[in-house]
Amino acid sequence: MMRRFGLALLAATLALPALAQSDRTDVLDLRPKDMQYPDNLGLEDLPIGPVPDEFYSQQPNDAADISGEIFGNNVDEAFGAFQRGYYLTALQLAMPRAKQGDAHAQTLIGEIYNKGLGVPEDPLAAADWYAMASKAGDPLATFELALLYQDGRGVTKDRKHAAELFRQSADAGNMMAKYNLGLLYVEGVYVEPSLTRAAELIGEAANAGITEARYDFGGMLSEGAGVAPNPAAAAEQYRLAAEDGMVAAQIEYATILYLGKGVPQDREAAARWYARAADAGNPVAQNRYAKLLAVGEGVTANVEDAAMYRALARRQGLKDAQLDKLLVAAAPEVVARAEERARFWPSSPPTRVAAATTPTPEPVKPATN
């Protein structure tokens, strides 16, 4: 049930590069306005669904039977039903336990109402259930309640109280709370500013496998913010976050490999990481990969592919005069094909598909007597 969430990237003191792109609008960038870049992490909740078809025809008195048939009696039935997408079953199974003071059941109900899983989204009800579970000592509920106070969902927005709840959850061992609390120490408004304390907390979360923390801790190790500079350790954190699928980390790690900062220089590996991030739709990666393709550095030179990735980056507003110079000698028909591919990317242009599938007519043989 733990979801990944970040308040923001690190503050301006870290001067992290502007790499990632995201459609998220509910993250708060803690940096000064002149230091904010389009690099929100694009964090997503862990997938729970899809909802099984049986969910829609489920009758209230089927809850125990459904759970027993699927999960047996060896697991937490309510949580098992939740994990499989039987949210109303999970709610029915958890409710009696929650009313008897079971903190885990209370947290599960809070999660159902918070995300609107099988019921209308109700942050007010979620806050009530999280508060009960938090009072009973569940650190996950305390963390989720902190997020509600942080955003003002279901409760009056109170970032100072959110910071205290993050602290309580972190002290109880919740790693996401440690990560969020670390970011608050960077901000230094609702807790005393301390990059050293921030590095400790974010480092713990990174070592526990939190992707966002790995990325941010890599930045701290790279810049020497709250911790001694360590390029090799920074590269390792970026690598781990990159392998987790974070596009921002993929670009950062590609750059590290390209330059050989803390790791042996490896232009081919750099090109592969840029390509992966470029194919994920990041314009910075598309621009940099296009340059490598244009000159054949770390990858086989391919002018048409380079022009296509340039077009993709331009479509998102990123223009580069240096890249334009690299492609100035490209034949007009090559550029035209590349831009046509970019129009339909990641699919192939219909004309190319048609050309590839239309059989070539056999040559007419001369008549013989």
Domains of the chain: 12-278 (1.25.40.10), 279-350 (no CATH)
Instruction: Select from 98, 93, 160 the least CA-distant residue to 131.
Output: 98
Interacting residues of 212 by C-beta distance below 8 A, sequence separation 6+: 4, 6, 41, 43, 179, 241, 246
Q: Do the Cβ atoms of 105 and 78 come closer than 8 Å?
A: yes
pTM of the model: 0.73
Work out whether the CA dihedral 144, 149, 153, 156 comes out positive or negative. Answer: positive
Q: What's phi and psi for 326, nearest 5 deg?
A: -65, -25
Residue 52: predicted pLDDT: 43
Distances (CA, A) of 19 to 72, 80, 81, 256: 47, 38, 39, 13
**What is the model's pLDDT at position 75?**
52
**3-state SS of 166-178?**
HHHHHHCCCHHHH
pLDDT at position 363 = 53
Ramachandran sector of residue 55 (left: φ over 0; alpha: ψ -120 to 50; beta: rest): alpha
Chunked mean pLDDT (size 10), the chain, 369 residues: 35 32 40 44 33 43 45 66 92 95 95 96 97 95 96 96 96 96 94 95 97 97 96 98 97 97 96 97 96 96 97 95 95 96 91 49 51
Q: What is the pLDDT of residue 157?
A: 96
